[in-house]
A and B are shown apart, each in its own frame.
Chain A
Amino acid sequence: MARRNTLARVGRIYGVLFSAFMLAPMVVVLAASFTGEGYISFPPASLSTRWYVEVLQNNTFMNALSFSLQIAAITATASGLVGVLSAVVLVKPSFPGRTFLVSLAMMPLTLPHIVLAIALLQLFGSLAIPSAPYALLMGHILITVPYVLRLTMTSLGGLDPRLELASFTLGASRSYTLRHVVLPLGLRGILAGILFAFLLSFDEITISLFTALPGKMTLPAEIFSYASQGSDPVIAAASGLMIIISAVVVIIIEWWFGLLRLILGDEPAKRGSRPAGE
């Protein structure tokens, strides 16, 4: 009995330490972003919001933020359309070539982002088409479609097939049934996928860095170039801004669909999602 308690205590201590390790970088960035000093320090010597004021008045960061939001919105819309359209077809178990197509669509997830970025740049280069911002958009669409596809297939696959049959029996056409029965019932999963696509695109750094032009970079890419030149509290404030925006999207996903369900699938015991690489 005593050993059992010791083990439980060791476990609890490890859990606390591990949690502290996991959260430390975000906590430190948020704390450092509220410093009143002109340099990065943790814990900050004095508190102020001056660096947030600074970042909100900084044209470079604000242009990058608006560019990031536009790219994320276009990515989410395009991935949503492509993912939902194909999921509606691929969810039918009888569809020929279904397994092959689904695994092909999932393949961009296992491709290192750096290789995808180089490949897209070379494609646009060999076509002699200006790559910005199309290479960036295509890269983001490729890495987010799999999530929309998977989440939509899971939500539509879980529907009772008798609902569709009932609709047909009542004289509804296929497209009417799709628009008024199937899609509304799968709406939660579909919107969760689209929100996740938005967040993945907003957070993405490698493809953005490789394909963006100087002067028209996403916010993560802009933070990268500032951070590689030195540490200025304005970077902490820009990073704080990213955390806040991500947190808002995460809260919406959690309230609307469930974060754990998004990552782990329907039941916690299910296999984890494929990784979203760097």
Chain B
Amino acid sequence: MAKAHRTSLLITHAAMLLPLLVILGFFFVLPLGIVATTSLKEEQTFPSLAQYLSIFTDGFYLEVMVRTLVIGLVTTVAALLAGYPAALLLVFSSSRWRRVFLFIIISPLFVSVIVRTYGWIVLLGPTGPIASLFPPDIRPRMLKTEGAIVIGLMHIYIPYMVLSINSAMAKIDVRLLRAAATLRASRWQIFKDIILPLSAPGVVAGSAIVFSLSMTAFSTPVLLGGARNKTMPFLIYQENLVLGDWQSGSALAIVLLAITTTVLAVVTIASSRIVNKVGG
């Protein structure tokens, strides 16, 4: 009786999980497998590394790849430099202001990326508020530059950086700071010797998230960078959907995925080491 009941319960549970398993298996794992397989095809030959060889030997592909990496790095550093003080402010402000400040940092996440990007098109545009600060003849061209891509991406992804650093800072034991103050440590010493090392896991995790998101962003670089500053996602779009070269397009997608996955994996391992070191 009890056994029959257990079996029927197991069947019910399996049935309830079935939709999730079907979706993940058929629309997530299988399609990724197809992309990986397609990337290993050359005409009718399989397996072949020809697509990957041509990516890493072609000057144009390499140029786009380096630009994408540089944009990812610069965006991450900019988000870190601007986001760290914001996270610090969040931790040390009074609870009422913390709530307001958190709302301001989080609320852009609920507005479509395309709307935020369009906002930067207006802000950086030739008739925008920043350009109008300059006399008409020496107005700098801000749109369609790599700088515009960095500003747009940084604005879109900085909330993740701030939240990540903030969550690491919030875990710091307040008694540690009080003890340091009692021992007459200066504010700078407290920051340098306690807050900075203990917030490092948040910095690392936030940087990894911002880096991989900005390397894989599509619409923001296309709209703010224009045709001259192509990044890898645009190349993936072009190969697959414009040129119809799915084999080369798949290889590019796999390369992009490999870069971001490696960064995330390395960072996960590194940050667990940091946590162990600081904790132990």
> For chain B residues 82-106, which have a beta carbon within 8 Å of chain A?
82, 85-86, 89, 92-93, 97-99, 101-106
B35 near A119 with CB under 8 A, answer yes
Instruction: Kindly state whether residue B217 has any CB partner on chain A within 8 Å.
Output: yes
0/1 string, B100-132, CB within 8 A of A gives 1 = 011111111111111111111111010111000
- What size tier do the contact residues of chain B reach? 35 or more
Known: A104-B24, A114-B216, A120-B31. A28 touches B119 (CB 8 A): yes
Residue of B nearest to A108 (CB): B28
A231 B125 Cβ-Cβ under 8 A: yes
Q: Which of B23, B167, B241 has the most CB of A within 10 A?
A: B23
> Quick one: which of B127, B159, B170, B218 contacts A209, CB cutoff 8 A?
B218
Among the listed A11, A28, A273, which residue makes an inter-chain contact with B92, where contact means beta carbons less than 8 Å apart?
A: A11
Q: Give A247 to B107 CA distance when docked, in angstroms.
A: 9
Residues in A with CB closer than 8 Å to B253 are 114-115, 118-119
A82 interfacial by beta-carbon distance below 8 Å: yes
Does residue A166 face the partner (Cβ distance < 8 Å to B)? no
A174 to B13, CA, bound (A): 12
User: What is the distance, in angstroms, from B35's C-beta to the closest C-beta of chain A?
Assistant: 5
Q: A197 near B: Cβ within 8 Å? A: no
Q: Which of B108, B118, B129 has the most CB atoms of chain A within a 10 A radius of its CB? A: B118
In B247-266, which residues have CB < 8 Å from any A CB? 249-250, 253, 256-257, 260-261, 264
List chain A residues, Cβ under 8 A from B260.
112
Complex Cα gap A259–B106 (Å): 9
CB distance from B134 to the nearest CB of A (A): 15
Which residues of chain B have C-beta atoms less than 8 A from A32's C-beta?
122
Given contacts A25-B155, A26-B115, A224-B114, contact A269 B167 (CB under 8 A): yes
User: How far in angstroms is the closest Cβ of chain B from A29?
Assistant: 5
Are B220 and A278 in touch, CB under 8 angstroms? yes
Contact A210 B241 (CB under 8 A): yes
A268–B95 Cα gap in the complex (Å)? 11
User: Which residue of A has the minimal Cβ distance to B209?
Assistant: A275
B118 touches A42 (CB 8 A): no
Give per-residue flags for B228-260: 1 if the beta carbon is below 8 A from chain A beta carbons, else 0: 000001001100110000100110010011001
A69 CB-CB contact with B under 8 Å: no
Question: Residues of A with Cβ closer than 8 Å to B?
Answer: 3, 7, 11, 14-15, 18-19, 21-26, 28-29, 32, 39-43, 81-83, 85-86, 88-90, 95, 101, 104-105, 107-108, 110-116, 118-123, 125-126, 138, 141-142, 145, 149, 174, 199, 202-206, 209-210, 220, 223-224, 227-228, 231, 235-236, 239, 242-243, 246-247, 249-250, 259-260, 263-264, 268-273, 275-278
Q: Could you pull out 24 A-B pairs where Cβ atoms are within 8 angstroms?
A: A11-B85, A14-B89, A18-B85, A25-B115, A28-B122, A29-B122, A85-B20, A88-B16, A90-B17, A95-B13, A105-B24, A112-B216, A115-B253, A118-B35, A126-B34, A224-B114, A228-B222, A231-B122, A243-B111, A259-B107, A272-B160, A272-B164, A275-B160, A278-B113
Nearest 6 CB-CB pairings of A with B: A25-B119, A112-B216, A119-B31, A272-B163, A203-B112, A123-B31
